[in-house]
Structure 1
Amino acid sequence: MTPSSSPAVASDQSVDALIKTIRIPPRPSMLIDVQAELACKEPDPKRLAATIANDVALSASLMKLTNSSFFGLRLKASSVEHAVHLLGLRQSGLLMTGIIARQSVKVENMSLVKFWDFSSKRAQAMAHLASHMRVCSPDLAHTFGLFCDIGIPILMERFEGYQETLDFASQEFEKKFTAVEQERHSTSHTSIGALMARTWGLPEEVSTAILLHHDYDALQDSTTPETIRALIALALVAEYSIHKYHGEETLAEWEKGGALACDFLGLPNDELEDRFEELHDLFNSVH
């Protein structure tokens, strides 16, 4: 080993040691069972419903969401099996993944209501955009939208001063969001989020996009798969639409990557404004 390489090796070892002190929630057995059913050559709605029905709290959450105004179903679900039938297998699987994540990712002495509200809006917005723009699968977009910032509550639990880092990084118009995290904590929410996504058996495209979603140069990098770039671009449009919905016209991340995202998606300004209107109507319909 040359002297010049020693500090790099030491740094890698210290980062590895740090990551071992960060609690990544293990993949819940219920999620394993749901994913296994959906991965079958011929998934069975009755088997999926029976799996979900084994957990009373999860069953109640699925029923509540199924009968909410968001889906606007003509019929109301009267049982878990009925809910799965009304929603379909893929949508039921997506909802269950989100519900299980909410139950599994918690921070002591802190409410994550705002975090999950934002994540849900982003997931809904991304699925809507993906279905209309046909740049990637709406299911994949929804999953990424739900999980792309999942590293934030995990780091919030690990580092006492992480909220201050988050506030500072959110207002940084020049430096990368993740560079601020790295300077202060020797890791980032993107690295930890990608690790959790792999641990939970989420699609590889999701874990890679989580890792890269603050690296807007990737949007111009032809070696980065199109689906990954689509997820990064859609997430940025979705997030800016949520900020505008809440009356916040300035978003540091949009200033850093908005033009690149629009270029990639082929979104001129007038069409972008139309998309924002669609998404704001979508958010209004949910609440």
Structure 2
Amino acid sequence: MSTTPSARPPAKTRAHISQELDQSRRNGPLRQIQIPPCPELLSRLRTAMAQAEPDLNEIARIAASDVAMSATLLRMANSPLHRDPQAQPCTTVGQAMTRLGLRETAALMTGFLLRNSMPVNNPHLARFWERSTKRAIACAFIARQLPGLSPDLAHTYGLFCHVGMPVLLQSVRGYGATMVEAAARIDRPFIATENANHRSDHAVVGALLIRAWDMAPELMSAIRLHHDFESLGDAAIEPEVHTLVAAGLVAEHLMRRHEALPEDMDWAANRDAALAWLHIDMGEVEAWDEQLRPLLDEA
């Protein structure tokens, strides 16, 4: 029997999500969650990038303040993806920034700072940040193919999409075992197992971190809803949120294809809805797969 529109649960609008987080924080399962503070350098980077004319000197100072971050920028700038075979290799942060461009520089720095603020030394999250980086690259690539979606916002969404997992792993006893169980089960979605065991899930916790770090509200909503595909297309939710969620599902599918993994449950069940929202078809997804592979190889 089909569900009538009147029988649908209320849409998780931005206000509803904030209320949900407040309630869970006060007297629900999120009381014990420890949200790490936003790294100071990341706050400075976001402030510099938020200006009408980004402060290039400040961004260069932030990049140069950490030797490992500088090395990351230089390595990427000198990679085959960016280096002209006839050009000399970059030897300074400034040269690397010029070759990479401001937006890619900021994206690489954001990923570096996030990864180092939340080290994941646990077998349950092996390759977590590597896969987050790939997801971010795939989301930004897809955004460049779509009208109206910011590649910067899409990159950040891909990077932070599953950030609730390491937070839960560090805060909740038994979450590692839950991850193993959730990955193994084929009878229900990953977050259903999280909620059954802990009365919360990584989508909720990820949204909590985004709000605590005072990041874009549409980012908070999209991360909260990135497994709630029944909400896709709901008129009460901002269109940009739907586009991020749908693009993220396509990005996850392309990333899994790159890794020779089978289709996951979310893609199998919600592919048609996501493609319809984005106004694309599988032919375009196949073309994107070919174009994206070199970028994911580099990541």
* TM-score normalised by structure 1 residue count: 0.86
Matches within 5 A, 1:83-122: 83-110=96-123, 112=125, 114-122=127-135
Q: CA deviation at 1:154?
A: 1.2
> CA RMSD for the aligned pairs?
2.4
Secondary structure class of the residue paired with 1:182 = helix
Corresponding residue of 1:158: 171
Corresponding residue of 1:225: 238
Q: 1:151 to 1:49 in 2, by over 3 A?
A: same
Moved more, 136-145 or 38-47: 38-47
Q: Say whether residues 1:67 and 2:115 are aligned partners.
A: no
Q: 1:248 to 1:110 in 2, by over 3 A?
A: closer
Corresponding residue of 1:25: 36
Q: Say whether residues 1:82 and 2:122 are aligned partners.
A: no
Match of 2:276 among 238, 263, 266: 263
Secondary structure class of the residue paired with 1:220 = coil
Take 1:111 and 1:249, find their aligned partners in 2: how far apart are those partners?
A: 19
Once the two structures are aligned, what percentage of the paired residues are identical?
Answer: 35
Take 1:220 and 1:262, find their aligned partners in 2: how far apart are those partners?
A: 12
Moved more, 111-120 or 200-209: 111-120
Take 1:196 and 1:14, find their aligned partners in 2: how far apart are those partners?
A: 12
Corresponding residue of 1:202: 215
Matches within 5 A, 1:263-282: 263-282=276-295
Moved more, 40-49 or 28-37: 40-49
Secondary structure class of the residue paired with 2:45 = helix
Q: Deviations over 1:51-88 (max 9, x none)?
A: 32222232222322332334345553221122222223
- Paired residue type of 1:143: T
Q: CA deviation at 1:209?
A: 0.5
Take 2:61 and 2:169, find their aligned partners in 1: how far apart are those partners?
A: 35
Take 2:126 and 2:60, find their aligned partners in 1: how far apart are those partners?
A: 27
Q: 1:198 to 1:64 in 2, by over 3 A?
A: farther
Q: 1:184 to 1:15 in 2, by over 3 A?
A: farther
Q: CA deviation at 1:265?
A: 1.2
Greater relative CO (CA pairs within 8 A, separation 6+): 2
Q: Is the 8 A contact 1:173 1:255 kept in 2?
A: no
Q: 1:75 to 1:200 in 2, by over 3 A?
A: farther
Q: 1:282 to 1:81 in 2, by over 3 A?
A: closer
Q: Is the 8 A contact 1:170 1:252 kept in 2?
A: no
Corresponding residue of 2:162: 149
Moved more, 231-240 or 155-164: 155-164
* TM-score normalised by structure 2 residue count: 0.82
Match of 1:181 among 168, 185, 194: 194
Q: Is the 8 A contact 2:24 2:31 kept in 1?
A: no
Q: Is the 8 A contact 1:173 1:256 kept in 2?
A: no
Q: Say whether residues 1:246 and 2:259 are aligned partners.
A: yes
Q: Say whether residues 1:39 and 2:50 are aligned partners.
A: yes
Moved more, 166-175 or 136-145: 166-175
- Paired residue type of 2:44: D
Q: CA deviation at 1:188?
A: 1.0
Q: 1:275 to 1:107 in 2, by over 3 A?
A: closer
Q: 1:54 to 1:158 in 2, by over 3 A?
A: same
- Paired residue type of 1:148: C
Q: Is the 8 A contact 1:106 1:112 kept in 2?
A: no
- Paired residue type of 1:275: W
Structure 2: runs of 5+ lacking an equivalent:
1-22
Q: CA deviation at 1:102?
A: 0.6
- Paired residue type of 2:253: Y
Q: CA deviation at 1:192?
A: 0.9
Q: 1:200 to 1:72 in 2, by over 3 A?
A: farther
Secondary structure class of the residue paired with 1:184 = helix
